[in-house]
Amino acid sequence: MTTPTPTLPAPAYALSSEREAALLAGARKSVRTSTLKIWGLRAIIVALWLGSWEVTATYFIDPFFYSKPSQILVRLVQWFGTGTQFGSIWENLGYTVLEAVLGFVIGTVAGVVLGVLLGRSSYLAEVCSPFIKAANAVPRIVLAALFIIWFGFGISSKVATVVVLVFFAVFFNAFTGAREVDGNVVNNARILGASKSKILTSIVLPSATTWILSSLHTAFGFALIGAIVGEYAGAKKGMGMLIANAQGTFDSAGIYAGMIIVTVVALLAEMLITTAENKLLKWRPSQATTQAQGI
């Protein structure tokens, strides 16, 4: 050490810079190999699954009923290349996603507003509880058929189906989140001078956010199901209609192809929601500890 500036003696636990670099590199390398291992095994599982399906369907069972991976791939290429019988695949997919997203937004807002309202007012909660329980017990998916009669074959009947599915998923979490707010924290805010509305926006909503966000994962799944079931019940466009049509023409490869496309959309949405969640909840201990892992 020949630096001109006076330096403190290094503490006993301090590591030399080479040793530290080696440790960090080692930690990175072990993370890399474990990621590689995980993805390798995943690839093998998928290859085994698809391969055995392909072989079984070619030699033992009737691919007319069960289809096989190569047929599904052909159907996907056909849909994305030359389009479906009912126009471009993107148009159909866009239609379904639009319904799901519209219904998701409306259902989430309604669920959060009503959930927080009832969560903060035990009187209203008491009054509404039997109605909510009854409404939740109704097999709501059947409403899709009713909405077609009410709103016709257009987009609004599907959005309505999505809204009823999403609403309850979000409502119960928002309700619990708003009810479970730490009373001590609310009292503290009151003492510090918070008005009723400030308590709602600066204490209740943020504390309920954890609950609400965790419900959004299932809620978006419900939104896609709602849109597809709505289209299945009657529509001129959309993935649900394509699937229903494939069923009508005994095109099992078409049903699988439709399922795969919807699954990919659901996974993308899931990724978006997780990103938003991590952004909004960066204060959470769990988030911080996952970052601190590794060494």
Partner 1 sequence: MPATQVPLIELKAATKRFPKNGGGIHTAIHNVNLRVAPGEFVAVVGPTGCGKSTALSLISGLQPASDGETFVHGELVTGIPRGVGYMFQTDATLPWQTVLDNVASGPRYQGKSRTEAREQAREWVHRVGLGKFEKYYPHQLSGGMRKRVALAQTLVNEPQIMLMDEPFSALDVQTRQLMQHELLRLWSGTDAAVVFVTHDLEEAIALADRVVVMTASPATIKADFPVTLPRPRNVEEVRLTPEFLAIYRQVWESLREEVEQARMATSLGG
Tokens of 221: 């799944």
Binding residue for partner 1, selected from 194, 260, 266, 273, defined by CB under 8 A: 194
Distance CA 176, CA 123 (A): 15
Output 72 or 178, the one with its CB closest to partner 1: 178
The three state secondary structure string of 45-77 is HHHHHHHHHHHHHHHCCCHHHHCCHHHHHHHHH
Q: State the minimum distance, in angstroms, from the CB of residue 182 to partner 1.
A: 8
Q: Which stretch binds partner 1 (CB under 8 A): 90-98, 111-119, 187-195, 213-221?
A: 187-195
By CB under 8 A, tell whether 200 contacts partner 1: no
Binding residue for partner 1, selected from 73, 98, 117, 190, defined by CB under 8 A: 190
CB 29 within 8 A of CB 37: no
Contacts of 226 (CB under 8 A, 6+ apart): 99, 100, 103, 141, 144, 158, 161, 162, 163, 164, 165, 166
Distance CA 64, CA 59 (A): 13
By CB under 8 A, tell whether 182 contacts partner 1: yes
Q: State the minimum distance, in angstroms, from the CB of residue 279 to partner 1.
A: 12
Question: For partner 1, how many residues bind (rule: CB under 8 A)?
Answer: 23
Output 81 or 183, the one with its CB closest to partner 1: 183
Tokens of 2: 């020949």
Tokens of 237: 């466009």
Distance CA 6, CA 142 (A): 78
By CB under 8 A, tell whether 272 contacts partner 1: no
By CB under 8 A, tell whether 192 contacts partner 1: yes
Output 207 or 245, the one with its CB closest to partner 1: 207
By CB under 8 A, tell whether 45 contacts partner 1: no
Q: Which stretch binds partner 1 (CB under 8 A): 2-10, 62-70, 193-201, 250-258?
A: 193-201
What burial letters (b/e) apply to 61-85, b meaning 16+ CB within 10 Å? eebeeebbeebbeebbeebeeeebe
By CB under 8 A, tell whether 288 contacts partner 1: yes
E strand or H helix that includes residue 271: helix 252-280
Distance CA 248, CA 251 (A): 8
By CB under 8 A, tell whether 136 contacts partner 1: no
Q: State the minimum distance, in angstroms, from the CB of residue 198 to partner 1.
A: 6
Output 2 or 293, the one with its CB closest to partner 1: 293
Counting beta carbons within 10 angstroms of the beta carbon of residue 54, is it exposed (0 to 12), middle (13 to 18) or buried (19 or more)? Answer: middle
Tell me which residues in 201-220 interact with partner 1 (CB under 8 A): 202-203, 206-207, 209
Binding residue for partner 1, selected from 50, 128, 189, 260, defined by CB under 8 A: 189
Q: State the minimum distance, in angstroms, from the CB of residue 208 to partner 1.
A: 11
**Interface contacts to partner 1, rule CB under 8 A:** 182, 184-185, 187-195, 198, 202-203, 206-207, 209, 281, 283-285, 288
